[in-house]
Amino acid sequence: MSLILDAWIFLLGWAYVLLAPYTKVEESFNIQAVHDLLTHGLAIDKLKNFDHFVHSGPIPRTFLGSTLLACITYPFINIAAYLDLISSKADLQIIARLVLATLNATSLVCFRKAVSTRFGHTTGSLFTLLTCSQFHLLYWMGRTLPNMFALPLVNLAFSYLLDRVPGPNSTIRIPERSWKSALWLLGFSSIIFRVELLLLWIPVTLQLLVQGQTSFFPILTTNLAATAAASTITYLVDSYFWQRRLLPELSSFLYNVVNGQSSNWGVSPWQTYFTVHLPRLLMTGFPIAYIGSLHDTRVSSFLLPHIVFVLFISNLGHKEWRFIIYTVPAFNVAAARGIRYLTSRGKGTLFGQIAFLVGAGALAANVALTGILLRTSVANYPGGSAIAAFHEFIPLTASPPPHVHICNLAAQSGVTLFQHLNAPPYHPALYLWPRSVPPPVSWTYNKTENLAVADLTSAHHFTHLISEVPPSDPNIARGWKLMRAVPAFHRVVFNKELLLSRPQEVPRRVFDLIGIEERDQLWIYERK
């Protein structure tokens, strides 16, 4: 049973990648870096062509995650090419994301096994059911956010801390190798990938000391060694890729926290993580986690560092759900224990029957909410849809070769370098096998910012536009003809007419009760 449930973690992660193959701006740095590593390679003379030099951002990010992902992805790309499963560069992006989803899914399965050892197989199975019923974790674990490179390390760290037989925390000691491995993993994830994880590393360290799992000197030397090793690795790797001496997460800390620049992306009230983001991530698991922590002191002890982490990070003004995504597995352990408690009450009493319905209904409600969120998310990548439509409309042999301007919204909602199908560089696997030959043309994909329609019209080298400007704009009407409008998600709509006028049809048309409304957000134009 556990193996079947574990398989669902992988299958759902892969399905989300295939259903929503495009990316958003938050994923941009790493997905572009993976593209450059796969197509340009590691040679120092090729670095000048990398996207982070062509389009530099305000703060540097580490190349370690994208480098490891590119290296792991490379053989799978060659296998896929040999099997004739690759038709363009866009397929390489999907393969890379499938690999990342697999790495995160593997870490979740390791975590589940540790949960089963510590709390029993039923709790482990309920943990998997909860995780699969929720949307954000599995949907995003195949996306190249820096947080998703840190997530498998954090999951493995807490797997080491959990992987011990059932019993009170005071009597069941964590093996020395396990807590040292956990601290090393948390240290690497903090120093290399996400500096906010220091706020999780510290309370875990203090808890190990307070519980008497170790003494001060061994834990100090372990953390110092992890810090030194992680700092050395990221310094050497990232100084090479950025061509200057650099510790990326230190730069991020100075920019966002010390200089307060993170507030440029918005400031939220202190309680936002508890009132908005955790409920969004956990869905019905959020209130049920409270029940689980009340009825099992092992759960409350395990959850404590994660709660302290959320309390600490709440003091930063800029808040996003992805900054606390690492706490979801721990809260799901608490929720799984809560559902175990609810569903194990005696069914002969009214309380037992209600408790069982609450536990089972929580999972069903999660699945329903996840279905709605999936529909809205799949329809929320207008840039990816637009560039795909553009490639369908324009023949490879078009003369002169198209020069398309890609607006900011399109670039932020799906148009990565992998979507530049008909422009070099190409991955070698695309022409290693007879039926996978890149086109003998070179189109131009131009993302120059702050160009008005009048500027684009007067610049005659532009042959096409993917634009946010509607056809009603007079500047568009003068110089461009519409090829296609690209709709995307606008809002969720409730089918009142079905519920009120044909209620007898609701049981067989339940999925028609809630739908999504799309509106045109991008337009593809060709020069007149």
Write out the DSSP string of 196-258: GGHHHHHHHHHHHHHTTSS-HHHHHHHHHHHHHHHHHHHHHHHHHHHTS---HHHHHHIIIII
Helix (H) or strand (E) holding 406: strand 403-406
Q: Is residue 274 part of a domain?
A: yes
290 part of a folded domain: yes
387 and 513 part of one domain: yes
pLDDT at 245: 96
Domain final residue pick, 308, 343, 378: 378
Pair 237, 312 in one domain:
yes
Q: Select from 174, 156, 152 the least CA-distant residue to 111.
A: 156
Q: State whether 362 and 471 are in the same domain.
A: no
Considering only CA atoms, which of 442, 434, 330, 450 is closest in space to residue 86?
A: 434
Q: What is the pLDDT of residue 235?
A: 98
pLDDT at 381: 98
Shared domain check, 241 and 189: yes
Q: Residue 141's domain spans which residues?
A: 108-378
Burial class (CB in 10 A: 0-12, 13-18, 19+), 206: middle
Same domain for 334 and 258? yes
Domain co-membership, 389 together with 467:
yes
Q: Residue 327: what pLDDT?
A: 98
Site of tokens 């099997």: 83
Q: Do 496 and 389 share a domain, yes or no?
A: yes
Last residue in a domain, options 378, 402, 431: 378
Place of tokens 């699945």: 367
Q: Is residue 371 situated within a structural domain?
A: yes
Q: Do 359 and 420 reside in the same domain of the chain?
A: no
Asked if residue 196 is part of any domain, the answer here is: yes
| Predicted pLDDT at 346 | 77
CA distances 88 to 84, 410, 438, Å, are 11, 20, 8
For residue 222, count other CB atoms closer than 10 A to its CB. Answer: 21
Sequence-ordered alpha helix ranges (H) in 55-197: 64-82, 89-119, 121-133, 136-140, 146-162, 176-188
Is the pTM value of this prediction over 0.75? yes
Taking the CA atoms of 122, 124, 127 and 131 in sequence, report the sign of the dihedral they define. Answer: negative
Helix axes 89-119, 28-40, angle to 10 degrees: 120
What are the CA-CA distances from residue 310 to residues 261, 305, 517 (Å)? 20, 9, 35
Q: What is the pLDDT of residue 506?
A: 63
**What pLDDT score was predicted for residue 165?**
72
Chain position carrying tokens 């070698």: 428
Residue 103 is assigned to a structural domain of this protein: no
Is 428 among the domain residues?
Answer: yes
In a domain, 24, yes or no: no
For position 279, what pLDDT does the model report?
A: 97
Q: Nearest to residue 466, comparing CAs of 449, 485, 452, 450?
A: 485
Tokens coding 465: 């536009």
> Do 262 and 390 lie in a common domain?
no
Phi, psi dihedral angles at 345 (to 5 degrees): -70, 150
* 174, 164 Cβ separation under 8 angstroms: yes
- Residue-level length of the chain: 528
Tell me: do 409 and 445 sit in the same domain: yes
Q: Does 369 lie in the same domain as 387?
A: no
Residues 194, 321 within the same domain: yes
Divide the 528 residues of the chain into consecutive groups of 10 and give the mean pLDDT of each group: 89 98 96 96 93 85 97 95 90 98 98 95 96 98 98 98 73 88 98 97 97 94 98 98 95 87 88 97 97 93 97 95 98 96 83 87 94 95 97 88 96 97 86 56 91 92 96 91 95 78 68 83 96
Burial track 388-427 (b if 16+ CB lie within 10 A, e otherwise): bbbbeebeeeeeebbbbbbbebbbbbbbbbbbbbbbebbb
Whether 207 is in a domain gets the answer: yes
Domain count, the chain: 2
Domain boundary among 354, 378, 402: 378
